[in-house]
């Protein structure tokens, strides 16, 4: 049993979709979340910059004595997870591999669609992860950058969201895929809109949910759970939120992502790390 928190970071607010799934699946775990709101988006930045930023996020979380780190950002997982694993002595979970595994299990026709930021799409990380699992799978990738601001505005069910989905996804719809990975932290909030447009024959993969499942498995295998079913630590789970800018905005939008109140958000100077 290990009561230290799980560290989670993202380029900003989007990683809260992963936090939400962790809270549901692992309700006894304490969480420290860092959102790099001063430097978001990561999705348009180079691998070198995203890796430097990710390392600073990791150092901040380590200072908070976390027992494992979830890289809850597709862009950061795609560009920096491998090197982070080699550089820091702590268990890591990224969002790419769990999403890739779920998509491979889901497809019956060996053809998968992947949508994400420009950084994630151009990194080749999903192709690499999927090919390791099944090298017969064909993939169709598409960057959908406008989805991020639409979700942050809270417009996920709007006509603007539907029209944007139509514009981005019409080529994917006719491409013969039967599974579509929502490979950006924000996209699970567009699940209804995307699902409505793609239709029932294309199943959506939510890497946020798959990541929480992978984390649960990792904690069990390494005996790192805070609580083992009937033997819970002290029942008072703590969630702490830190950002590099704009805590008030984070709290407001974050409550929409989490569907629960956020009590306090602290601003820190990430350049110190």
Q: Could you give the residue numbers annotated as active site?
A: 73, 184
Of 14 and 91, the one with the shorter C-beta distance to ligand DGL is 14
DSSP secondary structure of 84-110 = HHHHSSS-EEESHHHHHHHHHHH-SSS
- The 35-64 site mask, x for binding ligand DGL (CB under 6 A), equals -----xxxx---------------------
Residues 65 and 77: their CA atoms lie apart, in Å, by 21
Of 40 and 114, the one with the shorter C-beta distance to ligand DGL is 40
Answer for the pair 129, 96: CB distance below 8 angstroms, yes or no.
Answer: yes
Indicate the helix (H) or strand (E) that contains 139. strand 138-143
At closest approach, how far in Å is the CB of 43 from ligand DGL? 3
At closest approach, how far in Å is the CB of 12 from ligand DGL? 6
Q: Is 10 in the site for ligand DGL (CB under 6 A)?
A: yes
Residues 254 and 13: their CA atoms lie apart, in Å, by 6
| Site size with ligand DGL, rule: CB under 6 A | 18
Answer for the pair 116, 183: CB distance below 8 angstroms, yes or no.
Answer: yes
Q: Is 184 in the site for ligand DGL (CB under 6 A)?
A: yes
**Residue at shortest CB range from ligand DGL:** 43
Q: What share of the chain is helix, strand, coil (3-state, %, to 5)?
A: 50, 15, 35
Q: Is 21 in the site for ligand DGL (CB under 6 A)?
A: no
* Sole binder of ligand DGL in the list 37, 123, 185, 226 (CB under 6 A): 185
Only one of the segments 72-80, 134-142, 230-238, 244-252 lies at the binding site for ligand DGL (rule: CB under 6 A); that segment is 72-80
Only one of the segments 24-32, 57-65, 67-75, 213-221 lies at the binding site for ligand DGL (rule: CB under 6 A); that segment is 67-75
At closest approach, how far in Å is the CB of 95 from ligand DGL? 7
Sequence-separated (6 or more) residues with CB below 8 Å from residue 3: 30, 226, 233, 234
Site for ligand DGL in 113-152 (CB under 6 A): 116-117, 120, 148
Q: Is 100 in the site for ligand DGL (CB under 6 A)?
A: no
Pick from 51, 33, 34: nearest CA to 42: 51
Sequence-separated (6 or more) residues with CB below 8 Å from residue 273: 55, 56, 57, 59, 60, 63
Contacting positions for ligand DGL (CB under 6 A): 10-12, 14, 40-43, 73-75, 116-117, 120, 148, 184-186
């Amino acid at each position: 049993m290990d009561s230290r928190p799980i560290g989670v970071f993202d380029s900003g607010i989007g990683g809260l979709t992963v936090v939400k799934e962790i809270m549901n699946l692992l309700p006894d775990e304490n969480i420290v979340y860092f959102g790099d709101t001063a430097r978001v988006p990561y999705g348009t930045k180079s691998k070198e910059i995203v890796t430097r930023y990710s390392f600073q996020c990791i150092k901040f979380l380590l200072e908070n004595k976390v027992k494992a780190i979830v890289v809850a950002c597709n862009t950061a997982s795609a560009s920096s997870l491998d090197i982070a694993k080699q550089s820091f002595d702590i268990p890591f979970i990224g969002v790419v591999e769990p999403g890739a595994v779920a998509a491979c299990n889901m497809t019956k026709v060996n053809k998968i669609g992947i949508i994400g930021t420009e950084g994630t799409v151009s990194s080749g990380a999903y192709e690499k992860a999927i090919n390791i699992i099944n090298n017969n799978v064909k993939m169709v990738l598409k960057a959908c950058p406008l989805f991020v601001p639409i979700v942050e505005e809270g417009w996920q069910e709007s006509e603007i969201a539907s029209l944007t989905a139509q514009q981005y996804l019409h080529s994917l719809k006719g491409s013969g895929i039967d599974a579509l990975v929502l490979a950006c932290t924000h996209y699970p909030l567009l699940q209804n809109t995307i699902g409505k447009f793609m239709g029932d024959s294309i199943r959506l993969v939510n890497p946020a949910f798959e990541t929480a499942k992978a984390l649960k498995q990792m904690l069990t295998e390494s005996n790192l759970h805070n609580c083992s079913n009937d033997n819970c630590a002290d029942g008072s789970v703590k969630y702490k939120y830190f950002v590099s800018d704009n805590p008030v905005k984070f709290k407001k939008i974050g409550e929409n992502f989490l569907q629960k109140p956020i009590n306090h958000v602290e601003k820190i100077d990430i350049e110190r790390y």
